[in-house]
Chains A and B, each alone.
Chain A
Amino acid sequence: MIYVYDGSFFGYLSAVFDAWHDGLQHTEDICCDGAGDLFGRQQYVPADGVKAKRILDGLQAQCGGKTCHFLYYAFLAEQPQREMKLLQYIRQAFRLKGEFLHHLSEPAVWEVRQWARKTGNERHKLLGLARFQELKGGMLYCPLAPTCCVVPVMAPHFVKRLGSEEWVIHDRRRRIGVYYDRREAVLVDIPKVLQRVDVSEQEEEFAALWKQYYRTIAIADRRNDPLRRQFMPKKYWPYIIEVRDGENSR
Chain B
Amino acid sequence: MKWDVMQKKLTILSDAAKYDVSCSSSGSRRENKAGGIGNGAYGGICHTWSADGRCVSLLKILMTNYCIYDCAYCVNRRSHETERAMLSPEEIAELTVEFYRRNYIEGLFLSSGVYRSPDETTELLIRTAKTLREEKNFNGYIHMKGIPGTDPRLIRELGKYVDRMSVNIELPSSAGLKLLAPQKTKENILLPMREIRSGIAERKENRKASRKAPAFVPAGQTTQLIIGATPDSDRTILRLSEALYKQVELKRVYYSAYVPAMTGPNLPALTQPPLLREHRLYQADWLLRYYQFSADEILTDAEPDFDLHLDPKACWALRHPEIFPVEINKASYHMLLRVPGIGVTSARRICAARRSAWLSYDTLRRLGIVLKRAKYFITCRGRFYGESDRPDYIRSRLLDAEQAGRYEPMDLFAGVNS
Residues of A within 8 A of B (CB): 99, 102-105, 110, 124, 127-134, 140, 142, 157-158, 160-165, 202, 205-210, 212-214, 216-219, 221-228, 230-232, 240, 242-243, 248
Known: A99-B356, A160-B39, A213-B10. A206 touches B51 (CB 8 A): no
A sample of 26 cross-chain residue pairs with beta-carbon separation below 8 angstroms, ordered by A number, consists of A102-B355, A104-B353, A127-B45, A128-B103, A129-B48, A132-B101, A157-B41, A163-B34, A163-B37, A202-B98, A206-B98, A216-B10, A216-B14, A216-B15, A217-B50, A217-B56, A218-B50, A219-B50, A222-B52, A223-B51, A224-B52, A224-B409, A227-B52, A227-B409, A228-B51, A231-B49
Q: Are A205 and B3 also in contact (CB < 8 A) when A133-B102, A161-B38, A213-B59 are?
A: yes
- Asked whether B210 is an interface residue with its Cβ less than 8 Å from the other chain, the reply is no
Residue of A nearest to B355 (CB): A102
Which chain B residue has the least Cβ–Cβ distance from A130? B103
Measured in the bound complex, the distance between the Cα atoms of B51 and A248 in whole Å is 8
Q: How far is the CB of A208 from chain B (nearest CB, A)?
A: 7
A230 contacts B409, CB within 8 Å?
yes
* Bound Cα distance from A242 to B34, whole angstroms: 31
Chain A residues with CB below 8 A from B31, complex form:
160
Closest to A250 in B: B51
> Between A and B, how many residue pairs show CB distances below 8 Å?
146
Known: A158-B103, A205-B1, A207-B102. 11 other contacts (CB 8 A): A103-B356, A104-B352, A104-B367, A161-B39, A208-B3, A209-B10, A210-B99, A216-B10, A221-B273, A224-B51, A232-B48
Inter-chain CA distance A222–B261, complex, in Å, is 14
Chain B, interface SS category: loop
Give the distance in Å from the alpha carbon of A212 to the alpha carbon of B18 in the complex: 13
Q: Which residues of A contact B14 (CB under 8 A)?
A: 213, 216-217
Given the interface pairs A213-B14, A231-B53, the reply to whether A105 lies near B38 with Cβ below 8 Å is no
- The residue of chain B having its C-beta at the shortest distance from the C-beta of A219 within the complex is B52
Ordered nearest first, which 10 A-B pairs have the shortest CB separation?
A227-B53, A218-B51, A222-B52, A227-B409, A224-B53, A128-B47, A218-B50, A128-B45, A231-B49, A217-B18
Which residues of A are found within 8 Å of B95, using beta-carbon distances? 209
Chain B residue contacts of A104, Cβ below 8 A: 349, 352-353, 366-367
Q: Is residue B176 contacting chain A, with contact meaning CB distance below 8 A? A: no
Residues of chain B touching chain A, judged by Cβ–Cβ distance below 8 Å, are 1, 3, 6-7, 10-11, 14-15, 18-19, 31-32, 34-39, 41, 45-57, 59-60, 95, 98-99, 101-104, 140, 259, 273, 349, 352-353, 355-357, 363, 366-367, 409-410, 412-413
Closest to B59 in A: A213
A232 touching B49 in the complex, CB below 8 Å, given contacts A131-B103, A160-B32, A226-B409: yes
Q: Decide if B53 touches A132 in the complex (CB within 8 Å).
A: no
A218 to B15, CA, bound (A): 9
**Chain A's nearest CB lies how many Å from the CB of B259?**
8
- Closest chain A residue to B140, Cβ basis: A161
Could you tell me if B102 and A206 are in contact, using CB atoms closer than 8 angstroms? yes
A124–B352 alpha-carbon span in the complex (Å): 25
Q: A130-B103, A227-B409 are in contact. Are A164 and B48 (CB under 8 A)?
A: no
A133 nearest CB neighbor, chain B only: B102
Contacts of A248 in B (CB 8 A): 51
Scoring B14, B45, B51 by chain A CB atoms within 10 A of each residue's CB, the highest score goes to: B51
